[in-house]
């Protein structure tokens, strides 16, 4: 895809809402619609959830994604307009991101592998708090964390559930991951950690029969987990496109100042 020529082959991915489906129909009628195998770019229509679904769908295809907001939040999306779409795409700024790989072993010994663009979460499954042991690069950093859960977020995901759990906002280009506890009970004052994005994280579930835990990588959930290993997948690259001056770094900065 080059800024020197117009974009001709566009695929569309829309959420199931009436607004998103109407937008897809209008844009496809105006600009034509290519399949994913033929497309130069994918236009995602909906909210941030649709952007995540589309990123997962194109993973491994090398297709950039240009999102337009037809949903509720739209932090990852551009403003919606039917005008000059190929020109907007050609002029867009590119942000390259990498997902996390989650490797989760359950109580039956089965191993589940999933990718997370936003975050990997561990959650208690019952009324009892989870007890977790946290390792970073093979060294135990927390021998026992009693909590509702814990998450490891990428810079892209730092604006999502991580922010709601009072985790830090990370600039998109920062070589960091955010580790954020969810309702920590003991140690009560632990509020999380910033990790280098090369770190290998392992979380062991203590008393797993009495205090079962689920592991979630974006929208993939696995239950009755004993151990989770998390690392950044540098071999997988995903590209999001944003209008000039409205990229994720600017939005993250504005978010920190209350805009």
- CATH among 3.90.380.10, 3.40.50.10330, 3.20.20.100, 3.40.50.300 for 10-97+237-256: 3.40.50.10330
Is 48 one of the catalytic residues?
A: yes
- The closest alpha carbon to 39, from 48, 47, 28, 52, belongs to 28
Determine which one of 37, 48, 197, 249 is catalytic.
48
SS3 240: strand
Which tokens in the block code for residue 73? Answer: 């939040």
pTM confidence score: 0.89
* Residue with the two structure tokens 């979630």: 216
SS3 227: strand
Q: What are the structural domain ranges in the chain?
A: 10-97+237-256, 100-232
What is the assigned CATH class of domain 100-232? mainly beta
Q: 184-235, pLDDT tens digit by residue?
A: 999 988 999 999 999 999 999 999 999 999 999 999 999 999 999 999 999 9
What pLDDT is recorded for position 1?
52
Q: 100-109, pLDDT tens digit by residue?
A: 999 999 999 9
| pLDDT, block means (10 residues), the chain with 259 residues | 70 96 97 94 95 94 95 86 94 94 97 98 97 98 97 94 93 93 93 97 96 97 98 96 80 69
Residues belonging to the binding site for NAD(+) are 48-49, 118-119, 148, 159-164
What pLDDT is recorded for position 247?
66
Helices (H), the chain: 18-31, 48-58, 85-91, 161-164, 248-256
What is the spatial distance between Cα 123 and Cα 146, in angstroms, rounded to a whole number? 11
What is the spatial distance between Cα 47 and Cα 14, in angstroms, rounded to a whole number? 9
What is the spatial distance between Cα 208 and Cα 105, in angstroms, rounded to a whole number? 12
């Amino acid at each position: 895809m080059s800024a020197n020529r117009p974009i001709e082959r566009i695929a569309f991915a829309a959420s199931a809402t009436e607004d998103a489906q109407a937008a897809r129909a209008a844009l496809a009628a105006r600009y034509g619609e290519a399949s994913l195998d033929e497309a130069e770019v994918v236009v995602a229509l909906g909210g941030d959830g649709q952007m995540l679904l589309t990123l997962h769908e194109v993973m491994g295809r090398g297709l950039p994604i240009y999102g337009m907001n037809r949903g509720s939040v739209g932090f990852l999306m551009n403003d919606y307009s039917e005008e000059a779409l190929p020109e907007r795409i050609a002029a867009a700024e590119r942000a390259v991101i990498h997902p996390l790989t989650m490797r989760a072993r359950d109580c039956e010994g089965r191993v589940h592998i999933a990718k997370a663009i936003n975050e990997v979460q561990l959650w208690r499954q019952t009324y009892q708090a989870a007890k977790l042991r946290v390792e970073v690069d093979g060294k135990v950093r927390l021998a026992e964390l009693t909590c509702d859960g814990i998450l490891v977020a990428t810079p892209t995901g730092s604006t999502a559930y991580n922010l709601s759990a009072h985790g830090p906002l990370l600039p998109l280009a920062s070589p960091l991951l955010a580790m954020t506890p969810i309702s920590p009970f003991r140690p009560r004052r632990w509020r999380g950690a910033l990790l280098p994005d090369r770190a290998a994280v392992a979380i062991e579930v203590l008393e797993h029969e009495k205090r079962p835990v689920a592991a979630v990588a974006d929208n993939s959930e696995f239950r009755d987990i004993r151990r989770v290993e998390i690392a950044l997948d540098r071999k997988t690259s995903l590209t999001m496109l944003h209008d000039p001056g409205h990229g994720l770094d600017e939005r993250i900065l504005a978010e920190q100042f209350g805009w």
